[in-house]
């Protein structure tokens, strides 16, 4: 009944140690360097855009005809947004720093599922390469923006260069990224729930851990919906379905064959992801900044409990903001009222955080080191961006401003720059821990001031340009008289952008120079209190050298009266340090992980079900689909498989091995029978001329059935695997628990889908 | 809001009194907020004017479909959100698994 112990030393061989490593620290660094490459690429794209806005007729050597076309400009806009949102803002704060420091801060040897962690990283690399490849295919990168609104993104090459293979690659990239993020998020959640050190209660968790945990929940819920939306969009493009594409579209003189779809359905699904995405980008930064402000003020975080609850509240309300997005007249006025109040109340936890950051600084012994400067910069940008957002919260103003540079300035400051300042703060703060050397302080401060001033010079004028009516996404503003008047401001912003980008070279020099030649760093150079600082720099492979800590105090015990030093590490017990010899992945973490995975899968299917209702409601071409009778048989077989699985588990608990094996095998066979019944149903429908692209009800049937069948196939594979050779890390009890949970979850899901299909057949 | 003789109560009893006071204050605050909310004007579509305009133009059937679609996405999301928090709350005090 024993689980595998935590790794004792680094794995042998270069590939296993540095490339396909399962060590969370290596994976974290891999994510970090991937983000570094992505942000460099994203900045270059933005500089090209800024250059073109000021000198639209300049000839650029690497652009096809020398002068950038409007389509090429839009491709830059799309890819800049995509790369920054997905591969920088969603990746660096959560996947890079979270991967590296979450296990150490909770006293664990690794993530709960190290192999999954590695897989998640390499899938992200594949997604990044897929996105970049869009530049290299005929037609180039897509022009539909990072929001990929249909019909533009759904019709294919006919709508313009980049909308052919480039757009397909974009969608595939996003799908892979979603999948990778889902795997990553379930790892974060299970690790935080089940891998914490003894004594590390919720109210002793560092705020960084709180932030990564809440962000992981948002990722799980939001990315599963984007995955479903992306899948439907891909089907519209490649299989001729009409989920998002309306009838009667004429593009370049060609009548499109799609019918009855709703572009609004995409907005519905996309913004369910899009709104929480803002918090996915900013929440880890909030955690890091709270952590750093306390450290360099030598004070406990002001209102720790309120800060933790505010993080949870922001995550929770993030979904309700979306919910209110598309509610319109005709609804029950009281539910509208509730949504209004809840939507506006998201300002309350944000204000609590800002107030508590200032409270933490107030009266502290402030040390203006590089991480602290960037943390204060984060607060400045968060407040500035938040204040400009208040105007956009007014529908009358938003209608006027939402297509202008005002919005570009607002979201760049609050979501982009603030989050990136959080990343910089984290880099300067944890560099000594990650690499065992210190970054140069003078260069760090120079980098901060140039970037801080430079960023304000770029994005503050954008607000004025927007108020004056400067429209975003226009490749050339010189054509219209009133827009031409704004050119001097554009020139100023472009020069500021180039100078700010040049200032980043200081960071790159400092970073890579310090890697090799920085001053050697002590284990705890900042005199900090959390668990990452009690281990060596860089930490050993199992994080604590076999001597795992227990936790006795809160995370921010600075300047405690009566103590000899002004900080008390979390592992200091009243009578010396408490450690335990080894720490293993608890078996229940696997069950937790499966429960979280099931949650993500259900969310994915709920997105499809939601799409079903919206598409049906908007449709004038919906024809009820007669559900084949063989599916009734299949459904009963599937329900019977749940019963045999329960019998198998019963025999297992009663230590009747023969009975266990017998019923376990029967369950797998019944699963195969169900798939066979589903295949027969497909054939019958195909014979009755109900094709995937024919009618929306048939389209949904095929999507539901195929997606469920694929998931069930995974369940059958797991059943067979357990029967033949159970995984080494899991006890047999855990393995049966995990598979049973998955199997029953998938069966319950099928019952729901089947009832939905039956109801659809009658209306 | 404290009873007479509060100072003479033992520590545990004083804590219980304090807790009752806090709960009453919270109820009072919630009541005031509810009253304020009743006077709030109908706010719409923060942050995405295009979504709102498209939805508003979609006709009664479309709007009903959207309402159902929103609730179908919202309810499982919120259930999972709270479910995960309930799980971590139940495991607030981690045990030593070594």
pLDDT digit string, tens, across residues A723-732:
887 777 788 8
Cα distance between residue A421 and residue A746, in whole Å: 42
pLDDT given at position A79 = 97
Could you tell me if A690 and A700 are in contact, meaning their C-beta atoms sit under 8 angstroms apart?
no
pLDDT given at position A4 = 38
Q: Which residue of A has its CA nearest to B70?
A: A323
Could you tell me if A244 and A155 are in contact, meaning their C-beta atoms sit under 8 angstroms apart?
no
pLDDT given at position B46 = 45
Element (H, E) at A549: strand A548-549
Assess whether A658 and A545 both reside in one domain: no
Q: What's the Cα-to-Cα distance from A186 to each of A114, A295, A589, A593, rounded to whole Å?
A: 12, 30, 11, 6
Phi, psi of A62 (to 5 degrees): -100, 10
Residues 6+ apart with CB under 8 A from A405: A462, A463, A465, A466, A470, A471, A472
Q: How confident is the model at residue A343 (pLDDT cuts 50, 70, 90)?
A: low
B52 with A326: Cβ contact below 8 A: yes
Residues 6+ apart with CB under 8 A from A558: A294, A295, A297, A298, A299, A300, A529, A566, A567, A568
pLDDT given at position B38 = 64
pLDDT digit string, tens, across residues A416-426:
999 999 999 99
Candidates A125, A121, A115, A124; CA nearest to A22 is A115
Assess whether A713 and A581 both reside in one domain: no
Annotate B21-86 with DSSP letters as a single string: HHHHHHHHHHHHHHHHHHTPPPP--TT-HHHHHHHHTTHHHHHHHHHHHHHHHHHHHHHHHHHHHH
Element (H, E) at A397: helix A395-401
Residue B11, pLDDT above cutoff 90: no
A179 assigned to some structural domain? yes
A407 assigned to some structural domain? no
* Residue A221 burial by Cβ neighbours in a 10 Å radius (0-12, 13-18, 19+): buried
Over range A216-220, report the average pLDDT.
Answer: 96
Across all residues in chain A, what is the average pLDDT? Answer: 90
Report angle CA A476, A480, A486 to the nearest 5 degrees.
Answer: 75
Assess whether A225 and A123 both reside in one domain: yes
B42 with A592: Cβ contact below 8 A: no
Could you tell me if A762 and A623 are in contact, meaning their C-beta atoms sit under 8 angstroms apart?
no
A599 assigned to some structural domain? no
Q: Please give the interface size between A and B, counted as residue pairs whose CB atoms are below 8 Å apart.
A: 197
Query: Smallest CA–CA separation between B57 and chain A, in Å?
Result: 10
Residue from A305, A325, A408 whose CB has the most chain B CBs within 10 Å, to mutate: A325
* CB < 8 Å to A618, chain B: 58, 61-62, 65
Residue B98, pLDDT above cutoff 50: no
User: What percent of chain A has a predicted confidence (pLDDT) above 90?
Assistant: 70
A328 assigned to some structural domain? no
Assess whether A616 and A573 both reside in one domain: no
pLDDT given at position A580 = 63
- Name the residue among A192, A221, A328 with its Cβ closest to that of B77: A221
* CB < 8 Å to A393, chain B: 43, 46-47
Assess whether A669 and A732 both reside in one domain: yes
B83 vs A66 pLDDT, higher one: B83
Q: Which residue of B has its CA nearest to A402?
A: B49
On the question of a cis peptide bond just before residue A151, with omega within 30 degrees of 0, the verdict is yes
A49 assigned to some structural domain? yes
Cα distance between residue A727 and residue A717, in whole Å: 13
Q: Is A233 helix (H, G, I), strand (E, B) or coil?
A: helix
Instruction: Say which CATH number the domain at A77 has.
Output: 1.20.210.10
A331 with B89: Cβ contact below 8 A: no
Assess whether A542 and A683 both reside in one domain: no
Region for residue A160 given its phi and psi (left: phi exceeds 0; alpha: psi -120 to 50; beta: otherwise): left
- Name the residue among B51, B77, B95 with its Cβ closest to that of A603: B77
A263 assigned to some structural domain? no
Could you tell me if A555 and A205 are in contact, meaning their C-beta atoms sit under 8 angstroms apart?
yes
Over range A681-703, report the average pLDDT.
Answer: 91
Between helices A588-618 and A696-724, what is the axis angle to 10°?
Answer: 170
B55 with A194: Cβ contact below 8 A: no
Cα distance between residue A113 and residue A585, in whole Å: 9
pLDDT given at position B48 = 61
Assess whether A191 and A111 both reside in one domain: yes
Cα distance between residue A608 and residue A624, in whole Å: 17
Residue B45, pLDDT above cutoff 50: no
Domain stops at, among A534, A555, A586? A586
A316 with B81: Cβ contact below 8 A: yes
Residue span of the structural domain in which A62 resides: 1-9+23-243+273-295+526-586
A326 with B70: Cβ contact below 8 A: yes
Assess whether A193 and A288 both reside in one domain: yes
* CB < 8 Å to B68, chain A: 610, 613-614, 617
Residue from A347, A395, A581 whose CB has the most chain B CBs within 10 Å, to mutate: A395
B52 with A395: Cβ contact below 8 A: yes
Beta pairing partners, A471:
A404
Cα distance between residue A389 and residue A411, in whole Å: 8
A655 vs B54 pLDDT, higher one: A655
Enter the DSSP assignment of A141.
S
Assess whether A637 and A575 both reside in one domain: no
Residue A106, pLDDT above cutoff 80: yes
Q: Which residue of A has its CA nearest to B86?
A: A193
B47 with A393: Cβ contact below 8 A: yes
A613 with B69: Cβ contact below 8 A: yes
Could you tell me if A121 and A87 are in contact, meaning their C-beta atoms sit under 8 angstroms apart?
no
Cα distance between residue A386 and residue A414, in whole Å: 7
HSE, side-chain direction, 13 A CA sphere, residue A606: 26
B53 with A399: Cβ contact below 8 A: yes
Query: Smallest CA–CA separation between A60 and chain B, in Å?
Result: 35
**CB neighbourhood size of A115 (10 A):** 11
Query: Smallest CA–CA separation between B4 and chain A, in Å?
Result: 31
Residue from A610, A615, A621, A731 whose CB has the most chain B CBs within 10 Å, to mutate: A610
* Residue A597 burial by Cβ neighbours in a 10 Å radius (0-12, 13-18, 19+): buried
Q: How confident is the model at residue B30 (pLDDT cuts 50, 70, 90)?
A: confident
HSE, side-chain direction, 13 A CA sphere, residue A720: 10
Cα distance between residue A285 and residue A418, in whole Å: 8
B49 with A592: Cβ contact below 8 A: no
Query: Smallest CA–CA separation between A343 and chain B, in Å?
Result: 8
A319 with B77: Cβ contact below 8 A: yes
**CB neighbourhood size of A525 (10 A):** 17
Cα distance between residue A729 and residue A115, in whole Å: 12
A323 with B70: Cβ contact below 8 A: yes
A606 with B76: Cβ contact below 8 A: yes
Residue A280, pLDDT above cutoff 70: yes
Phi, psi of A579 (to 5 degrees): -135, 160
Cα distance between residue A142 and residue B46, in whole Å: 28
pLDDT digit string, tens, across residues A532-581:
999 999 999 999 988 889 999 999 999 998 888 889 999 988 765 556 65
* CB < 8 Å to B30, chain A: none
* Residue A81 burial by Cβ neighbours in a 10 Å radius (0-12, 13-18, 19+): middle
Q: How confident is the model at residue A1 (pLDDT cuts 50, 70, 90)?
A: very low
Could you tell me if A439 and A371 are in contact, meaning their C-beta atoms sit under 8 angstroms apart?
no
Q: Which residue of B has its CA nearest to A398?
A: B49
pLDDT given at position A631 = 94
Could you tell me if A416 and A473 are in contact, meaning their C-beta atoms sit under 8 angstroms apart?
no
A350 assigned to some structural domain? no
- Name the residue among B66, B74, B88 with its Cβ closest to that of A614: B66
Over range B8-14, report the average pLDDT.
Answer: 82
pTM: 0.92
Domain stops at, among A586, A616, A634? A586
Parallel/antiparallel/unpaired status of strands A579-580 and A548-549: antiparallel
- Name the residue among A399, A581, A610 with its Cβ closest to that of B72: A610
Assess whether A576 and A618 both reside in one domain: no
Candidates A75, A180, A92, A48; CA nearest to A132 is A75
A606 with B94: Cβ contact below 8 A: no
* Residue A492 burial by Cβ neighbours in a 10 Å radius (0-12, 13-18, 19+): middle
Assess whether A700 and A756 both reside in one domain: yes
**H helices within A571-656, ranges in order?**
588-618, 630-653
Cα distance between residue A218 and residue B39, in whole Å: 32
* CB < 8 Å to A201, chain B: 92-94
Over range A158-182, report the average pLDDT.
Answer: 94
- Name the residue among B43, B55, B68 with its Cβ closest to that of A343: B43
Assess whether A215 and A181 both reside in one domain: yes
Candidates A632, A730, A712; CA nearest to A668 is A712
Residue from A327, A388, A551, A590 whose CB has the most chain B CBs within 10 Å, to mutate: A327
Query: Smallest CA–CA separation between B54 and chain A, in Å?
Result: 7
* CB < 8 Å to B49, chain A: 395, 398-399, 402
Instruction: Say which CATH number the domain at A684 has.
Output: 1.20.120.80
- Name the residue among A220, A340, A582 with its Cβ closest to that of B42: A340
- Name the residue among B49, B63, B87 with its Cβ closest to that of A395: B49
Helices then strands, each counted (H, E), chain A: 23, 6
Residue A317 tokens read as 């309300």
Residue A713, pLDDT above cutoff 50: yes
A592 with B62: Cβ contact below 8 A: no
Residues 6+ apart with CB under 8 A from A704: A605, A608, A753, A756, A757
Residue B61, pLDDT above cutoff 70: yes
pLDDT given at position A286 = 96
B87 with A592: Cβ contact below 8 A: yes
Length of chain A: 763
Over range A503-529, report the average pLDDT.
Answer: 96
Cα distance between residue A708 and residue A714, in whole Å: 10
Q: How many domains does chain A have?
A: 2
Cα distance between residue A753 and residue B72, in whole Å: 13
B54 vs A89 pLDDT, higher one: A89
B46 with A264: Cβ contact below 8 A: no
Could you tell me if A505 and A422 are in contact, meaning their C-beta atoms sit under 8 angstroms apart?
no
Could you tell me if A283 and A214 are in contact, meaning their C-beta atoms sit under 8 angstroms apart?
yes
* Residue A634 burial by Cβ neighbours in a 10 Å radius (0-12, 13-18, 19+): buried
Tokens 């067979």 map to which residue? Answer: A720
Q: How confident is the model at residue A89 (pLDDT cuts 50, 70, 90)?
A: very high
Q: Which residue of B has its CA nearest to A335?
A: B42
Cα distance between residue A188 and residue A472, in whole Å: 37
CA dihedral A133→A135→A136→A142, nearest 10 degrees, is: 90
* CB < 8 Å to B98, chain A: 548, 580-584
A132 vs A562 pLDDT, higher one: A132
pLDDT given at position A377 = 97
B83 with A614: Cβ contact below 8 A: no
HSE, side-chain direction, 13 A CA sphere, residue A192: 31
pLDDT digit string, tens, across residues A2-23:
333 444 567 778 888 888 999 9
Element (H, E) at A572: strand A572-573
Residue A352 tokens read as 């609590």
A27 assigned to some structural domain? yes
């Amino acid at each position: 009944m024993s689980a595998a112990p935590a790794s004792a030393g680094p794995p042998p061989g270069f590939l296993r140690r540095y490339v396909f490593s399962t060590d969370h620290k290596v994976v974290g660094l891999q994510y970090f360097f991937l983000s570094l490459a992505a942000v460099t690429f994203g900045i270059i794209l933005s500089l090209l855009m800024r250059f073109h806005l000021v000198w639209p007729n300049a000839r650029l050597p690497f652009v096809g005809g020398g002068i950038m076309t409007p389509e090429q400009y839009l491709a830059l806009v799309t890819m800049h947004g995509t790369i920054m949102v997905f591969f920088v803002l969603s990746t660096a704060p959560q996947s890079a720093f979270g991967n590296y420091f979450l296990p150490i801060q909770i006293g664990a040897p690794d993530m709960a599922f190290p192999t999954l962690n590695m897989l998640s990283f390499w899938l992200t690399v594949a997604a990044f390469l897929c996105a970049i490849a869009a530049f290299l295919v005929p037609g180039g990168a897509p022009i539909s923006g990072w929001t990929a609104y249909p019909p533009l993104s759904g019709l294919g090459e006919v709508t313009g260069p980049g909308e052919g293979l480039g757009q397909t690659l974009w969608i595939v990239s996003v799908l892979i990224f979603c999948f990778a993020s889902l795997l990553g998020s379930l790892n974060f959640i299970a690790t935080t729930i089940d891998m914490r050190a003894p004594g590390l209660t919720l109210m002793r968790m560092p705020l960084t851990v709180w932030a990564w945990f809440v962000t992981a929940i948002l990722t799980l819920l939001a990315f599963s919906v984007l995955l479903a939306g992306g899948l439907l969009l891909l089907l519209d493009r490649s299989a001729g379905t009409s989920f998002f594409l309306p009838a009667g579209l004429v593009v370049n003189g060609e009548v499109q064959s799609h019918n009855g779809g709703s572009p609004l359905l995409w907005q519905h699904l996309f913004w369910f992801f899009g709104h929480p995405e803002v918090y996915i980008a900013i929440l880890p930064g909030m955690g890091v900044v709270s952590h750093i402000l306390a450290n360099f003020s030598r004070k406990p975080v002001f209102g720790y409990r309120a800060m933790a609850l505010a993080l949870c509240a922001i995550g929770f309300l993030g979904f309700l903001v979306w919910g209110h997005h598309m509610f319109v007249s005709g609804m029950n006025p009281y539910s509208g009222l509730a949504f209004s109040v809840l939507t506006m109340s998201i300002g309350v936890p944000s204000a609590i955080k800002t107030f508590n950051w200032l409270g933490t600084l107030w009266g502290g012994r402030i040390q203006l080191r590089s991480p602290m400067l960037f943390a204060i910069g984060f607060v400045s940008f968060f407040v500035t961006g938040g204040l400009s957002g208040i105007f956009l919260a007014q529908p009358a103003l938003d209608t006027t401003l939402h297509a202008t540079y005002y919005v570009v300035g607002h979201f760049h400051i609050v979501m982009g720059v603030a989050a990136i300042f959080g990343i910089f703060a984290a880099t300067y703060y944890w560099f000594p821990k990650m690499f065992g050397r210190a970054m140069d302080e003078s260069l760090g401060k120079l980098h901060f001031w140039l970037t801080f001033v430079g960023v304000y010079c770029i994005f503050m004028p954008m607000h004025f340009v927007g108020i004056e009516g400067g429209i975003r996404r226009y490749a050339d503003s010189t054509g219209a008289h009133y827009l031409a008047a704004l050119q001097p401001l554009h020139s100023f912003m472009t020069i500021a952008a180039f100078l700010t980008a040049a200032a980043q070279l200081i960071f790159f020099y400092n970073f890579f120079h310090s890697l090799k030649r920085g001053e050697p760093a002590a284990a705890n150079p900042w005199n900090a209190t959390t668990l990452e600082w009690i281990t060596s720099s860089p930490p050993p492979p199992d994080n604590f050298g076999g001597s795992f800590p227990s936790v006795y105090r809160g995370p921010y015990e600075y300047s405690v009266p009566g103590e000899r030093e002004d900080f008390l590490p979390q592992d200091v017990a009243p009578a010396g340090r408490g450690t335990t010899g080894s720490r293993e992945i608890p078996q229940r973490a696997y069950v937790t992980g499966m429960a979280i995975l099931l949650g993500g899968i259900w969310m994915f299917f709920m997105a499809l079900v939601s799409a079903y209702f919206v598409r049906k409601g908007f449709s004038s071409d919906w024809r009820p689909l007669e559900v084949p009778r063989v599916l009734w048989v299949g459904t009963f077989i599937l329900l019977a498989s749940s019963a045999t699985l329960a019998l198998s588990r019963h025999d297992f608990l009663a230590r009747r091995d023969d009975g266990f094996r017998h019923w376990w095998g029967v369950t797998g066979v019944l699963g195969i029978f169900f798939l066979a019944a589903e295949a027969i149903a497909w054939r019958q429908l195909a014979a009755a001329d109900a094709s995937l692209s024919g009618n929306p009800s048939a389209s949904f049937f095929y999507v539901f059935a195929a997606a469920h069948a694929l998931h069930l196939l995974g369940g059958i594979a797991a059943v067979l695997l357990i029967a033949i050779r159970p995984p080494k890390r899991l006890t047999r009890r855990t393995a049966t628990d995990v598979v049973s949970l998955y199997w029953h979850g998938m069966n319950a899901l099928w019952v729901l889908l089947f009832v939905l299909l039956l109801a659809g057949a009658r209306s | 809001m404290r009873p007479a003789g509060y100072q003479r109560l033992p520590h545990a009893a004083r804590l219980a009194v304090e807790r009752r006071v806090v709960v009453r204050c919270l109820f009072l605050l919630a009541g005031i907020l509810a009253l304020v909310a009743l006077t709030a004007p109908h706010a719409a579509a923060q942050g995405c004017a295009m979504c709102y305009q498209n939805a508003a133009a979609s006709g009664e059937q479309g709007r009903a479909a959207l309402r159902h679609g929103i609730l179908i996405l919202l309810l499982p999301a919120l259930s999972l959100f709270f479910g995960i928090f309930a799980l971590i709350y139940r495991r607030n005090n981690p045990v030593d698994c070594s």
